[in-house]
Chain A
């Protein structure tokens, strides 16, 4: 039985995007709450990769930031290796926990300090967690990390601007690995890169996962990348998970109409010339989401119930899906 490394329960985050107090008083503008993440639960087993996919604004990056502690949750909990992160008291224990997970960001041009040498960048987690005391040993460790990610130990003397986008992303990965973490949160790590460089980074991430036994939470909007790297996939729509299943299951037999829509929208380089199913409509304004199932205005199978009752994420034949039509059997299930 696989060990559960990360357990996320009913996680939610709201942002207050109201007009300033004076406008509310004078103009009577109402308070406005944006529910970026609205009750998301999932688990990740040690050594596996869970991907969260969805369109802009679905809350996938907010989930990543909540797990890393960059935002505090409005409600819900994040349990890492059996410990509830919210229950940790004291700076020392929190630091010890923080060492065990790290984050890789989307834009390698913005996530590295341009005025620091690569050595200082990579050694920062080592120093802030006080893992190695001796300067010579730190330098040796940085050299090893650079070799691990396919760069040269000599690169530690350079500045970020001397590297290409792909090489910078390798430096970000080396920095994330420097505190010997068990878990990496990767927020769109390849979407700023060219395809050939993307292939290099994806291969590197898979190699490192095998060598170091890492666990990944992978955030992406690119379904082809997700199908390549993940063990399981969760599809998000307007702050909720609408379907979650093993990669093979979700791509062979997508259940939720939104998952089907996303999969049919993937540009397919093998079917050159044939039309793909264009998708109707756009993501609604998250400030004023539709009632019931939030996907109902775009759904081809919509019925009265979908506009009134919000579907729960329930197990269905090896997957979990939040859709009345699937659970009540009026949406036909088709393998692709």
Chain B
């Protein structure tokens, strides 16, 4: 990625709210990032961190009572978050493709995969039936489905999980979108199939220059696929930077804890480092930094004032430890091992 390329997608101060009987929940708060053409941005975080909602908000598929309360989403320089539904529908599929977690629920079981792909092609591109069909066969071949000219007339239940996910990817690629939003594309698959799908996504990204926003909770998938990664916690970005940097030299205490808690083959430790407690509920996000009750390096300011993204080494981290204007207490020696109760 070159620094001065115009971003393909630009998200500015996005805020997503859900009005509920018990008050307004802020699921995504003040999230900003850019994705350059051809870049893979990984978005990681635990359940409830707001990563999927961010993706859904970008493609305009938020369901009520969810709504974008503030901020802007710009695709190739023009705003798309305030478009009327029919215009947004034209962008979805044509300029932004989507891949979801469960390949069985994202395909219609009553239509053959060929019908579903050709329908999408005819919707978005000026092609007739025969042209669309030959393009569909070409696409199925490209995503690695053997004998595509025969498989095109099969129904979703006749495909295995890995093959179904390939069909979904072909469907997302139909109209040559500039951006693909992939929400947990490999989570429902076995490890050996996972590797195949990741290799496929990377190759397509390289060949077509498509940018990908890859939402997942699996750091391993991010490490192998993404150029940059954004770590989300309680609806906000905790840290964002180049993938190598975030993985090997994380700057936010949450990222440090998250990376440490992943078991690795060959690592010989008795206990895994663990983050005490659990993520706060959206109804009870602590004042100041949302991570402060669990943070091993918490100090006074963290409990009062919420940190913005600050330059930390080569990443940006939302943590007061990186505030240039203050001296910071030294890191604690050793890790306390109390009972935990979140």
Contact = CB atoms under 8 A, between A and B. Distances in A.
B82 interface: no
Contact of A196 (B195, B258, B264): B258
Contacts of A56: 161, 190
B273 interface: yes
A181 to B, nearest CB: 23
Contacts of A282: 160, 162-163, 192-193
Contacts, number: 144
Interface centre among B219, B223, B243, by most A CB within 10 Å? Answer: B223
A222 B189 CA distance: 12
B24 interface: no
A225 interface: yes
Given A197-B278, A263-B265, A270-B264, A279 B196 contact: yes
Contact of A206 (B244, B257, B260, B270): B270
B322 interface: no
B275 interface: yes
Given A165-B47, A198-B261, A272-B247, A265 B191 contact: yes
Interface residues of B, number: 50
B275 A206 contact: no
Contacts of B342: 164, 166-167
Contacts of B340: 150, 200
A270 B267 CA distance: 12
Given A194-B46, A196-B275, A265-B192, A202 B219 contact: no
A70 to B, nearest CB: 24
Interface string A130-155: 00000000000000000100111000
B142 interface: no
A265 B186 CA distance: 13
A199 B272 contact: yes
Interface in A245-268: 251-252, 261-263, 265-268
Contact of B219 (A55, A165, A269): A269
Given A150-B340, A197-B278, A224-B265, A267 B270 contact: no
B263 A224 contact: yes
A24 interface: no
A150 B198 CA distance: 38
Contact of B263 (A164, A227, A283): A227
B151 to A, nearest CB: 14
Interface in B194-244: 194-196, 198-199, 202, 217-221, 223-224, 243-244
Given A194-B47, A195-B258, A272 B341 contact: no
A221 B194 CA distance: 12
A221 B278 CA distance: 25
Nearest to B245: A272
Nearest to B192: A279
B263 A269 contact: no
A228 interface: yes
Interface residues of A, number: 49
Contact of B257 (A164, A196, A283): A196
A202 B263 contact: yes
A318 interface: no
A203 interface: yes
A217 to B, nearest CB: 19
A152 B341 contact: yes
Given A150-B340, A196-B275, A199-B263, A267 B220 contact: yes
Given A268-B220, A269-B220, A272-B224, A199 B194 contact: no
A164 to B, nearest CB: 5
Interface string A4-39: 000000000000000000000000000000000000
B221 A267 contact: yes
Interface in B251-275: 257-267, 269-275
Given A150-B340, A266-B220, A278-B196, A195 B191 contact: no
B235 to A, nearest CB: 16
Contacts of A166: 278, 342
Interface string A171-205: 00000000000000000000000111111101100
Nearest to B190: A55
Given A262-B192, A266-B265, A282-B193, A203 B220 contact: no
Contact of A272 (B190, B223, B262): B223
A273 interface: yes
B339 interface: yes
A268 B248 CA distance: 12
Contacts of B198: 267
A2 B37 CA distance: 60
A276 interface: yes
A194 B193 CA distance: 21
B61 to A, nearest CB: 24
Contacts of B243: 272-273
A253 B224 CA distance: 24
Contacts of B191: 55, 221-223, 262, 265-267
Given A269-B220, A269-B264, A276-B224, 18 more contacts: A166-B278, A194-B46, A195-B217, A196-B258, A202-B263, A203-B271, A206-B271, A221-B190, A224-B262, A227-B264, A251-B266, A262-B191, A269-B223, A270-B264, A271-B223, A272-B247, A273-B244, A274-B224
17 contacts: A166-B278, A197-B46, A199-B272, A202-B272, A222-B191, A223-B265, A262-B191, A265-B195, A267-B191, A267-B220, A271-B223, A272-B243, A273-B244, A278-B195, A279-B195, A282-B193, A283-B190
Interface of B: 46-47, 160-163, 190-196, 198-199, 202, 217-221, 223-224, 243-244, 247-248, 257-267, 269-275, 278, 339-342
Complex A-B, nearest 7 residue pairs according to Cβ-Cβ distance, in ascending order: A267-B220, A199-B261, A194-B46, A279-B192, A228-B263, A55-B190, A199-B272
